[in-house]
Amino acid sequence: MRIGVRSATRSSGPARIGVARNGSTPRKGAMFYWLVKFVFVGPFIKLYNRPRVEGLANVPKDGPAVLAGNHLSIADWLFAPLAIRRRVSYLAKSDYFTTPGFRGALQKFFYSKTGQVPIDRSGGDAAEGALVTAKRMLAEGRLVGLYPEGTRSPDGRLYKGKTGVARVALETGVPVIPVAMIGTNEVSPPGPFRWRRRRVTVKFGEPLDFSRYEGMGGNRFVERAVTDEIMYRLMQMSGQEYVDVYAATLKKAPAPLPIGDGLAPTLPVDSSGRPVGAQGDEPADRVPDSRAS
């Protein structure tokens, strides 16, 4: 296991430091987290929404790992941790911590006390700071939840992943567990807060192995290939249609893209130009390749 915490400056190889294998480092709000999970919120969600869980054995019992999930709803970060015995820390947009008024204060209290970490999503140096934060938490032996899409899907489809998760994976060497959320957008859809009685499925996939790219952190082509492999696996697990644009771009557009125009994630190709399949049972010649579209 290799893992490093570095400054915002990119480099090609990870630093090596000690890792808390059991993830037992004392952290602020730990008691409140477990009370929310097992007393205040968790039992209600389990009874009301009866979530199905698949592939729980794929989540390591100790040591650092990244949970890379599709993002359908604000409810995603509740359903995934409920299925896991370990504590999960998510990087959450800073807006959740700065909303004015009573609702904002309550929201900030809840997110802070459950161990969620505010990040600035404006890009540039702010994005670098978020990656440094993720690597620091992994160095403490934590499970860190990240959403490659960077924002919630506006229409239930899967959107192009940003390369931050790939950078963290390549620079630390920790396993990446794909997590597919199904139905959370029916429980709490975009817009005013609502919580519906709908059944949710949470799927934990097998850890993705990127050891073939060891020492190639900082290469933007490799980072894109790794990101697309993660998104391809999420597409397989969730059954979502893939759209080869960033969700944040679509939210700013005057009109949504028509259904059916999505392109599957691009995967690496071999010497003959045929796509190399991501981990799974699907033959490589059936792997969608957006470059052929």
All domains in the chain, ordered by first residue: 52-267 (3.40.1130.10)
- pLDDT value at position 242? 96
Phi-psi category of residue 156: left, alpha or beta, with phi > 0 → left and psi -120 to 50 → alpha = left
- pLDDT value at position 120? 66
**Chain CA centroid to CA 40, Å:** 25
Q: Which helix (H) or strand (E) holds 12?
A: none
Report residue 37's pLDDT band, with 50, 70 and 90 as the boundaries.
confident
- pLDDT value at position 283? 37
Residue 83, pLDDT > 80, answer yes
Residue 100, pLDDT > 80, answer no
Contact call for residues 201 and 183 (beta carbons, < 8 A):
yes
Task: Please state the rounded mean pLDDT for residues 36-44.
Answer: 86
Task: Please state the rounded mean pLDDT for residues 75-82.
Answer: 89
- pLDDT value at position 64? 97
Half-sphere exposure of 51 (CA within 13 A, CB side): 29
Task: Please state the rounded mean pLDDT for residues 272-289.
Answer: 43
- Which residue has better confidence, 127 or 73? 73
- pLDDT value at position 253? 61
Among 271, 280, 277, 274, which Cα is nearest to 292's? 274
At 45-56, the pLDDT tens digits run 999 999 999 999
- pLDDT value at position 69? 97
Residue 14, pLDDT > 70, answer no
- Which residue has better confidence, 229 or 42? 229
Residue 251, pLDDT > 90, answer no
DSSP-assigned states of every residue in 204-260: EPPPB--GGGTT-TT-HHHHHHHHHHHHHHHHHHH-PPEESS-HHHHHHSSSPPPTT
CA distance to 33, 195, 282, per residue, from 285 (Å) = 45, 42, 8
d(CA 121, CA 144): 17
- pLDDT value at position 285? 36
- Which residue has better confidence, 196 or 278? 196
d(CA 9, CA 136): 15
- Which residue has better confidence, 62 or 120? 62
- Which residue has better confidence, 188 or 27? 188
Pairing of strands 201-204, 176-182: antiparallel
The SS3 of residue 171 is helix
**Would you state the structure tokens that stand for residue 266, as one six-digit string?**
């691009």
Calculated CA dihedral for residues 216, 169, 139, 15, nearest 10 degrees: 0
Report residue 215's pLDDT band, with 50, 70 and 90 as the boundaries.
confident
Report residue 34's pLDDT band, with 50, 70 and 90 as the boundaries.
confident
The residue ranges of DSSP E strands in the chain, in sequence order, are 52-54, 65-69, 88-93, 117-119, 143-146, 158-159, 176-182, 201-204, 242-243
Global pTM value: 0.75
Contact call for residues 177 and 207 (beta carbons, < 8 A):
yes
